[in-house]
Structure 1
Amino acid sequence: MTHPLVAKAWETLRVEEPEPGLLVVTLNRPHRANAMNTTLGEELIALFGTLEAAPHACQAVVLTGAGDRAFCAGADLAERNGMDDEAFARQHYMFERMMRALLACPVPLIAAVNGAAFAGGLELVLSCDFAYAVEGARFAFTEVTRGIMPGGGGTQHLPRSIGARRAKEIIFTGAHFTAEEALAWGIVNRLVPPGEVLAQALATARRIAANAPVAIRQAKKAIDHGLQADLRTGMQMEIEAYYQLIPTQDRREGIAAFNEKRPPRFTGR
């Protein structure tokens, strides 16, 4: 059965299900370097809101951009040209909701960074669980060169990822940095040759999808919420998540499969 998000008609996204349980969401505005306009933001809210409401509907999501030039160049400044303060604030609040929708994705969300990721585009990358990037990709928080600042989580995600001092240099200067630097600093997990980033992200998503779905969702929840707390509280959150898995069929299946020397057949229950 075709996933309902694949069947839906999107204006700025392309949604595909290359195999059951895996979704590829492509920012599909290559003529504008996949920059985020109002429609794209609203469609991402709708898509990830649907996933949050139906966590069993898929097991992993890969987010990428159309073409080989840009993952996402940030907000579409052509659309913002001439906006009055009220309209600007209204649109930005929508982008805030969009980023929160990505963070609420209940299943692993992998960024396949196929090109430049600037400003809000880099914030999209940082809102994913982890990222692979093409060799030669470029990154930057350019907002201060346009009279604003990162406002989609950039000032919070980046220092948590690479440390406050390096994050301040990146944000205060607006300077570009390379894919190699992004890898060394931990912003991306892997660099891949041109044309291969989506395939490698999908290979990892496939490996994730072979594991117990409820266990993956509980582990993600424990990591994400535990990082917002002190160590002892985080460990308690981990145990609360762990004990939710004991009565599942998948837990019993995993033990049985090991002892019967066969691959497990997880059902997400």
Structure 2
Amino acid sequence: MDHPETPAEGSIHCEVRGELLLVGINRPAKYNGFTPRMFRELGEAYTRLDDDPALRVGVLHAFGKHFTAGLDLPTIAPSMQRGEKLVRPGDVEPLNLGTPGYRRRTKPMVAAVKGITYTLGIELMLAADVVVAADDCRFSQLEVKRGIMATGGATLRMAERAGLGNALLHLLTGDEFGAAEALRLNFVQKVVPAGQELEEALRIAQAIAAQAPLAVVATRLNALKAVEEGPIAAMQEFIEVQQRLSRSEDAAEGVRSFVERRAARFQGR
């Protein structure tokens, strides 16, 4: 992929490939450290994914050798001290925390991570849905080394994926660990040789995009509800959601394609 121009404060570079939106973190000279501009543009990119009916799946990746070293603290600290959010009110919040005044993403996001993937980098990948990691990844949730707490979802999602003891091992020591440990703890779903992570993420994203969009969104949201609110809350939606989906044009196309023994052509309606 050609490298786009990089402003001093970094940027988020979007590229549409068919039904996919590639969302690229673009500040490689500074290890892709996040500035206020980059946060705002990331929220705008995630909002574009959700709002454009032609887009079905997002792919979060980074330019350069590393995913991100995390926050660029000198530029971010003033906002942090004031308690200010860096994403525009009403936009989709990339960390998917359900903060009042911000939207949660509905469409799937596949993340491709590589090299240094610290702090915010881990939290962004845990907020995605499927993660492909290069085998050269270096992970660290090191907020305790800086006198602050991880507030982008690590305290929630690391424990949910790996169990409390495994989460606290890394949260409380701020140690660095590799792709094999991340795979063992269910922080990532696949590990591939460095340089192949984006290709594999795109393959997965295209496989998701080939499915019925309404069913994909409903399935994702129901699985999230089961994790966040419990199985009973998720089960209570089954009949209503299945009724709605079964009346869709895509469901009718699914039946036709089965009868006609061909690949389905879903329209997302």
- TM-score range for the pair, normalised by the shorter chain length: 0.7 to 0.9
Closer, same or farther in 2 for the Cα pair 1:99/1:148, shift >3 Å? farther
Equivalent positions of 1:140-159 (< 5 A) are: 140-159=140-159
Give the match for residue 59 of structure 1. Answer: 56
TM superposition outliers: structure 1 runs of 4+ over 4 Å: 95-99
| 1:234 alignment partner, SS class | helix
In the TM superposition, what is the alpha-carbon distance from 1:202 to its structure 2 partner?
A: 0.3
Give unpaired runs (5+ residues) of structure 2.
1-6, 97-103
Cα distance between partner residues in 2 of 1:211 and 1:179: 29
Cα distance between partner residues in 2 of 1:245 and 1:225: 18
Give the match for residue 114 of structure 1. Answer: 114
| One-letter identity of the residue aligned with 1:48 | Y
Give unpaired runs (5+ residues) of structure 1.
1-8
Give the match for residue 15 of structure 2. Answer: 16
Cα distance between partner residues in 2 of 1:95 and 1:157: 21
Give the match for residue 100 of structure 1. Answer: 93
Closer, same or farther in 2 for the Cα pair 1:88/1:74, shift >3 Å? same
| One-letter identity of the residue aligned with 1:59 | R
Q: Aligned residue pairs: how many?
A: 254
Contact 1:60 1:108 in 2 (8 A): yes
Cα distance between partner residues in 1 of 2:237 and 2:94: 22
Equivalent positions of 1:192-203 (< 5 A) are: 192-203=192-203
Cα distance between partner residues in 1 of 2:192 and 2:56: 23
In the TM superposition, what is the alpha-carbon distance from 1:124 to its structure 2 partner?
A: 0.7
Cα distance between partner residues in 2 of 1:35 and 1:202: 24
1:217-243 residue CA offsets vs partner (Å, 9 max, x unmatched): 111111112222232222112333222
Give the match for residue 187 of structure 2. Answer: 187
In the TM superposition, what is the alpha-carbon distance from 1:55 to its structure 2 partner?
A: 5.4
Cα distance between partner residues in 2 of 1:12 and 1:41: 9
Q: TM-score, normalised by structure 2?
A: 0.88
1:52-93 residue CA offsets vs partner (Å, 9 max, x unmatched): 3x152311110011112x11111002424xx55xx4334663
Cα distance between partner residues in 2 of 1:91 and 1:204: 37
In the TM superposition, what is the alpha-carbon distance from 1:96 to its structure 2 partner?
A: 11
Find out whether 1:209 has 2:209 as its counterpart: yes
| One-letter identity of the residue aligned with 2:34 | M
| 1:24 alignment partner, SS class | strand
Contact 1:64 1:71 in 2 (8 A): yes
Contact 1:62 1:201 in 2 (8 A): yes
Identity %: 32
> Which deviates more, 88-97 or 256-265?
88-97
Find out whether 1:89 has 2:78 as its counterpart: no
Contact 2:108 2:220 in 1 (8 A): yes
Q: TM-score, normalised by structure 1?
A: 0.88
In the TM superposition, what is the alpha-carbon distance from 1:150 to its structure 2 partner?
A: 0.3
Cα distance between partner residues in 2 of 1:193 and 1:128: 21
Give the match for residue 69 of structure 2. Answer: 73
Cα distance between partner residues in 2 of 1:215 and 1:227: 19
